Structure 1
Amino acid sequence: MRDIIVLGGSSHPNLTKSICRHLTVEQGIVDSKKFSNGETSIEIRDSVREKDVFIIQSGCGEVNDNFMELLITIAACKTASAKRVTAVLPLFPYSRQPDVPHAASLTGAPSMAVKKDKYTFESAPGTPRPMKFENGDIFSNVPPPLNLENPASGATSASNNLINRAIGGFKTTSIITNSASVSLQTNKLPSVDIFGKTESGYKQWIAQNGTLIANLLVTAGADRCITMDLHDPQFQGFFNIPVDNLYSKPLLKRYIIDYIPNYQECVIVSPDSGGAKRATSIADSLGCSFALIHKERRAKISKTPPGSNSSNSATPLMHSSSSINLINNSGMVATTMLVGDVKDKVCVLVDDLVDTSYTITRAAKLLKDQGASKVYALVTHGIFSGDAVNRLSKSSIDKIITTNTVPQIEHSQSLGDKLEVLDVSRILAESIRRIHNGESVSMLFDHGW
């Protein structure tokens, strides 16, 4: 092909070489260096004047450094009079940040890579027990009646007792009222829950980085973007340039047909409700049955007492160990349930991305507990950060199938035969060829390459 230059960043050099081999073109030479203070220096050795430039950089590894390297390379090509610059991001960075504040102690996500010898893979995350007071349980003690006979002393002391008992688990220095300053011996003030909400329902403001990443790419000079399996397809709406979101669905379907025995009898399972549409699409095209693992975290406990006797009516909130096992301080229940029949069947977990592997390993344990004979995990982007590799090696998953949108050499050495890597370089190379020649890319969405 004429007037085309393919440049590769430092995030995934092997993928760049495979794409150039499929395109039968020589890879452009880019010198990427770092100064002693950590700044990135880019020098392009080949001429890009009036050329169609494709820059391949995946959002993995040192994400911030790799993304800054991509921006500088795009700007360097535009400054060198490139005709068009296309950013090829097999894994799009900053596309799946949570909408709640990250707190490792609350959400369970690891803050560092710590390998353990034993994992529980419980399907429901642990939650604290009901709040305890220093003098006993909140549900066991009934506050004393108010002494209204002596307003000067009795009412004040009784009200102080009520205040101390009502908020005994929290500490402030003092409360200023219109009449007096009432000192309280407490521990701490109530804070936000795991969903980032206070008692009033106000949710902490979270910086959504999708618009920022899109604006940075456009400002640097990118004329087009190519990516694969965006975590949220609506992410394309942040751009005012064309974005081609390629699908790994044809590749995963081909693997199921070729390598899973009696694939018509298997069950396609979505590990959460967010990926249900992706899993049902594969299940419908293969004619397989579908199952869904549903995580419920926002079911409020009923505040009406289950009994009508006087002893139960005195307690403001009751809980039953037979119906609700996991209760947190905000009155929420954490449960996980399986919708569908998987007994004595081969289950195929389908997801777009595995990062810490908490969700997919818990889902595999739940499937094995429900009688599944074998569990496969098909994911597009296998990031495997933190202690994910160790968790996967000890999990109930029999085989993990992922793609090489992220480097998998180290992961393959750790997981061995349990991990199988599918090559996506041919799909990316064909999309580059079609865009360069002005042909349609929509055929790759349904049929792959």
Structure 2
Amino acid sequence: MRNTLIFAGSSCPALTSQICSNLSMTPASVELSQFANGETSVKILTSIREKDVFVVQSGSPRINDSIMELLILISACKGGSANKITAVLPYFPYSRQSKKKSHRGAITARMLANLLSVAGINHVITIDLHASQMQGFFKCPVDNLHAEPIIARWIKHNVPGWREAVCVSKNAGGTKRVTSLADALKLNFGMVTTDKRRVVSNMSTSMIMRRLDGFIPESELDSDVSRLHLGSEDKPARRDSKAKPSNIQTESKPEPAKESPQSNGITPPRAGHSRQDSQSSPRKSQVMQSPLRTTNDSFTSSPLARAQTLPASRSTPLEEEIEFTDERARDIIHGRLVQGHIVPDNYSSPTQSVMSTSTILDNPDEDPMEMSRTSEYFNPEAHPLGGSVDAGATSDEEEDGFNDPSLEQMITLVGDVKNRTVFLVDDMIDKSGSWIAAAECVVKRGGAKKVYCIATHGLFGGDSLAELQNCDCIDTILVTNSFPIPPEDVQQARKLVVLDLSNLLAEAIRRNHYGESISPLFAHATRD
């Protein structure tokens, strides 16, 4: 390509060399160095006047040095009278900090976009931004390419029986990315979620919440309701557990309303009584307005309670009212996580509930409602943004709970993966905890036969690559070369597969230089 120069940053020289090879070019001469105090120095050794310049620089383990080197190189090209400067960023740094997660948090990705604009950038080419809305941070055009067509092509050529596989998201935030790959391959998809604020069930919470849900087993009406003193100083008398619903006495039993010709034998609801009756019994109105108010003459307004206070013609068996026929519940599987690993159901939990069952049994005179108000259920941890769920934890932040040995978490699998190959998909792999937990969940709980961990950016912070390699539930780790991976790590990791993005980036550079459309780069090949 005439009047075009491609500069290689220090973060990905091998990728830049492969891009230039695909375009039958050589990288432009530039000298990158650092002073003794760590300052970055850039010297361009060729003329760039009125040239179309492309600077290839990705994230790296020395992320801040790479960013400063990119900014200085762009500024040097602008000072050298380049016609157009395009930054090629296979992995955009700080892309996970694209929204505020606390009152005094910073939107670092937007700040970096502003720095690039000040340095003199005219165009940006990147791959799989963590949040596609980040394109609005820039004052220049942004081409956000996707590695999905390359990944889908590899799956079709290298995964046996891929047509029966299932794409699974390892967190709720990645479902859109997973469904996109599932639609491209025409596969089913599922989701794995981890509850990091799991509350160990206790008697008070379950008893109260089932009343709020409108369901009280008849046995609890006899044994537990007698212990509630909400609004009354006298303890209610114990009722016979074998008594029929029609024998339970309320404060004032209303007379059945007369049937109308259009009612087909069904008595109108209680709201149809005369206004005089409601005014003559103010206590009855007060009891009916408070669903949790319990005295020795009235009890919780649940479906069973309402059925017992209505005439016999409207009473229906309890089994018919609580019958559930949702077949989809069979595709929801729960598991227990301790330090990021699946444990058996009979495993001793390291957590202690705020209020144990023995406390209630030993102190029957204590008010369960007052005790539960001090529990974790009614006093959840405050969200940094005042209760908003928009700023959810990123895939990196959700790893914090896996390092706490005293914390038990609940993991949920939605979808049928039994005897199928599973593709765990996300945009990046940094830490290994959530990947291992999701893989163990689909294998040990869901019954999957093979697990492929698929991501565009393989950051592999710390010892995460070795931990993924040692996990028996993971068969293959598939990433691209958007982020530099040390060659020795690639050789030692037998499960690691690295896809090449040089063809995609080279074609994007060529089309940008000649002013052609890049829409074909987003399409999946019809013949693979």
For normalisation by structure 1, the TM-score amounts to 0.71
Query: Hey, what does 1:140 align to over in structure 2?
Result: none
Bigger Rg, structure 1 or 2: 2
Counterpart residue type for residue 339 of structure 1:
V
User: 1:249 aligned to 140, 145, 148, which one?
Assistant: 148
Query: Hey, what does 2:57 align to over in structure 1?
Result: 57
Deviates more, 1:343-352 or 1:403-412: 403-412
Q: 2:165 matched to 1:87? A: no
Distance 1:97 1:76 in 2: 28
Counterpart residue type for residue 349 of structure 1:
L
Q: Judge conservation of contact 2:54–2:88 (CA < 8 Å) in 1.
A: yes
Query: Hey, what does 1:179 align to over in structure 2?
Result: none
Counterpart residue type for residue 16 of structure 1:
T
Q: 2:484 matched to 1:374? A: no
Query: Hey, what does 2:21 align to over in structure 1?
Result: 21
> Cα distance 1:440–1:45, how it changes in 2: closer, same or farther (>3 A)?
same
Q: 2:301 matched to 1:402? A: no
Q: Residue deviations 1:267-289, cap 9 Å, x none?
A: 11111111111111111221211
User: 2:193 aligned to 265, 289, 294, which one?
Assistant: 294
Q: Judge conservation of contact 1:267–1:348 (CA < 8 Å) in 2.
A: yes
Q: Judge conservation of contact 2:458–2:480 (CA < 8 Å) in 1.
A: yes
| Structure (1/2) with the larger strand percentage | 1
User: 1:267 aligned to 146, 155, 166, which one?
Assistant: 166
Q: Percent identity?
A: 44
Task: For 1:21-170, list aligned pairs within 5 A.
Answer: 21-97=21-97
Q: 2:336 matched to 1:437? A: no
User: 1:393 aligned to 464, 469, 472, which one?
Assistant: 469
Q: Judge conservation of contact 1:377–1:397 (CA < 8 Å) in 2.
A: yes
What is the RMSD computed on CA atoms of the aligned residues?
2.6
- How far residue 69 of structure 1 moved from its aligned partner, in angstroms, is 0.1
Q: Judge conservation of contact 1:54–1:86 (CA < 8 Å) in 2.
A: yes
Gaps of 5+ in 1: 102-202
- How far residue 330 of structure 1 moved from its aligned partner, in angstroms, is 3.5
For normalisation by structure 2, the TM-score amounts to 0.61
Q: Residue deviations 1:41-89, cap 9 Å, x none?
A: 0001011110000000001220000000000000000000000000000
Query: Hey, what does 1:358 align to over in structure 2?
Result: 433
Q: Judge conservation of contact 2:97–2:109 (CA < 8 Å) in 1.
A: no
Distance 2:76 2:6 in 1: 14
Q: Judge conservation of contact 2:98–2:109 (CA < 8 Å) in 1.
A: no
Deviates more, 1:57-66 or 1:283-292: 283-292
Distance 1:241 1:422 in 2: 29
SS, match of residue 447 in structure 1: coil
User: 2:504 aligned to 408, 420, 427, which one?
Assistant: 427
Distance 1:61 1:53 in 2: 25
> Cα distance 1:208–1:410, how it changes in 2: closer, same or farther (>3 A)?
farther
Q: 2:464 matched to 1:411? A: no
SS, match of residue 93 in structure 1: coil
Distance 2:39 2:507 in 1: 34
Q: 2:162 matched to 1:281? A: no
Counterpart residue type for residue 247 of structure 1:
H
Query: Hey, what does 2:243 align to over in structure 1?
Result: none
Counterpart residue type for residue 447 of structure 1:
H
Gaps of 5+ in 2: 209-223, 229-363, 384-407
Counterpart residue type for residue 430 of structure 1:
E
SS, match of residue 47 in structure 2: coil
Q: Residue deviations 1:363-388, cap 9 Å, x none?
A: 11111112110101111000000121
> Cα distance 1:375–1:37, how it changes in 2: closer, same or farther (>3 A)?
same
Distance 1:444 1:291 in 2: 27
Query: Hey, what does 2:298 align to over in structure 1?
Result: none
Counterpart residue type for residue 390 of structure 1:
A
SS, match of residue 36 in structure 1: coil
Distance 2:420 2:478 in 1: 19
Distance 1:329 1:208 in 2: 27
> Cα distance 1:94–1:55, how it changes in 2: closer, same or farther (>3 A)?
same
Counterpart residue type for residue 434 of structure 1:
R
Distance 2:139 2:147 in 1: 24
Q: Judge conservation of contact 2:6–2:56 (CA < 8 Å) in 1.
A: yes
SS, match of residue 490 in structure 2: helix
Distance 2:474 2:422 in 1: 10
Question: How many residue pairs are counted as aligned between the two chains?
Answer: 342
